[in-house]
Amino acid sequence: MQNNEATEHINKDTVNIDMVSTQDMLVMINNEDMKVAQAVQKCIPEIAKGVDIIVRNFLQGGRLFYVGAGTSGRLGVLDASECPPTFSTPPDMVQGIIAGGDRALREAVEGAEDSEEMALNDFDKYDICNTDTIVGISASGNPKYVMTFLKIAKLKKCKTIAVCSNPDAKMKQYADCFICTDTGAEAISGSTRMKAGTAQKMILNMLSTASMVKIGKTFHNLMIDVKPTNEKLKRRAVTIVSEICGCRLVTARNVLESNGYSTKHAVLYILYGLEYKEADKLLKEHHGVLRRIFE
């Protein structure tokens, strides 16, 4: 029986990939990769719709859950894990759920992507409610684990987003927002960790980053809520405060060291002379959005 999923088709441009030189092989793969950004670009209206859904729920105290199996699940966990250090989000604000649990991050868990029971158990475990957003991720859009998760989410009145590379994906019926990138046949037939996976990574970056920008986690394009957990990030915080305040790096560093490297509080101290408690009160009144205070 023929498989109609484009990612499972045989790519006519790479049929000789096992016979060419190493360099020619890499050129073939790179040529395929160059198609990914264009496929994502065509989906920007749907991605924008997804961002607006996530932001509305964030502003109501909701959370964002990425749900997937295999490569798709790993990409969701990766994007979620990068939000706390990048934007100082609480650990539970953006979460990645992979079929088969943590073990599936490092090895294949047999039957996990087809397990409706696992989906039911995982949904209950996270106490998901109607202010949360569920993003189902799958190249084919058909694994039972992801579909079941989205189906339950819809029944619970959650907003749902589907990210896939198959226009005929079954999970489309459970999605308030359907993001489908036409990445076509993979360089290695069926290896969706390649173009389809790259498209997913780009889309998840856009969903989380744009949502964080819209809730005030940046100032201009500066990572104002960066969590300085290492020397590199401390240097970045110093540079950000210096840039915003127009002060010397040493001034920014001294203030940050005195307040535990809280960038927003440092900015308000340097520009307005606000002590930590006063700045903290003002930030809470404006939901942490520095630009609102400036305006």
- 73 token code pair: 């699940």
CATH of the domain at 283: 1.10.8.1080
Residue 82 lies in a domain: yes
Same domain, 91 and 127: yes
Residue 126 lies in a domain: yes
Give the residue, 113 or 137, on which the prediction is more confident. 137
Residue 221 lies in a domain: no
pTM over 0.85: yes
- Confidence class for position 3, pLDDT limits 50, 70, 90: low
Same domain, 207 and 265: no
Q: Are 289 and 264 in contact (CB under 8 A)?
A: no
Same domain, 56 and 164: yes
For residue range 37-63, what is the model confidence (pLDDT) as tens digits?
999 999 999 999 999 999 999 999 999
Residue 208 lies in a domain: yes
Residue 219 lies in a domain: no
Q: Long-range pairs for 78-86 at CB < 8 Å and ≥24 separation? A: 78/201, 79/201, 79/204, 79/205, 79/208, 80/208, 82/208, 83/208, 83/212, 84/227, 85/226, 85/227, 85/229, 85/233, 86/212, 86/223, 86/225, 86/226, 86/227
Residue 2: per-residue pLDDT: 45
Tokens 């190249």, located at residue? 139
Query: What is the C-alpha to C-alpha distance for residues 3 and 25, in angstroms, rounded to an integer?
Result: 26
Residue ending a domain, among 187, 214, 241, is 214
Query: What is the C-alpha to C-alpha distance for residues 189 and 41, in angstroms, rounded to an integer?
Result: 23
Residue ending a domain, among 214, 248, 282, is 214
Same domain, 176 and 100: yes
For residue range 16-44, what is the model confidence (pLDDT) as tens digits?
999 999 999 999 999 999 999 999 999 99
Residue 262: per-residue pLDDT: 93
Mean pLDDT of the region 154-174:
96
Query: What is the C-alpha to C-alpha distance for residues 206 and 212, in angstroms, rounded to an integer?
Result: 10
Same domain, 117 and 73: yes
Residue 228: per-residue pLDDT: 87
Residue 2 lies in a domain: no
Domain limits for position 181: 8-214
The residues assigned a catalytic role are 82, 113
Nearest to 257 by CA among 241, 246, 271, 243: 241
Residue 1 lies in a domain: no
For residue range 198-245, what is the model confidence (pLDDT) as tens digits?
999 999 999 999 999 999 999 999 989 888 889 999 999 999 999 999
Please report, rounded to a whole number, the percentage of residues in the chain having pLDDT higher than 70: 98
Query: What is the C-alpha to C-alpha distance for residues 72 and 181, in angstroms, rounded to an integer?
Result: 14
Same domain, 210 and 241: no
Same domain, 51 and 192: yes
Mean pLDDT of the region 149-172:
96
Same domain, 277 and 160: no
Q: Are 143 and 111 in contact (CB under 8 A)?
A: no
Residue 224 lies in a domain: no
Residue 4: per-residue pLDDT: 65
Residue ending a domain, among 161, 179, 214, is 214
Same domain, 74 and 198: yes
Residue 1 pLDDT more than 60?
Answer: no
Burial of 220 (0-12, 13-18, 19+ CB in 10 A): exposed
Q: Are 96 and 81 in contact (CB under 8 A)?
A: yes
For residue range 59-73, what is the model confidence (pLDDT) as tens digits?
999 999 999 999 999
The total number of structural domains that make up the chain: 2
3-state secondary structure the chain: CCCCCHHHCCCHHHCCCCCCCHHHHHHHHHHHHHHHHHHHHCCHHHHHHHHHHHHHHHCCCCCEEEEECHHHHHHHHHHHHHHHHHHCCCCCCEEEEECCCHHHHCCCCCCHHHCHHHHHHHHHHCCCCCCCEEEEECCCCCCHHHHHHHHHHHHCCCEEEEEECCCCCHHHHHCCEEEECCCCCCCCCCCCCCHHHHHHHHHHHHHHHHHHHHCCCCECCECCCCCCCCHHHHHHHHHHHHHHHCCCHHHHHHHHHHHCCCHHHHHHHHHHCCCHHHHHHHHHHCCCCHHHHHC
Same domain, 42 and 183: yes
Please give the C-alpha separations between residue 41 and each of 16, 53, 207, 237, in angstroms, as whole numbers: 29, 19, 13, 32
Same domain, 206 and 248: no
CATH of the domain at 170: 3.40.50.10490
Same domain, 160 and 112: yes
Mean pLDDT of the region 104-130:
91
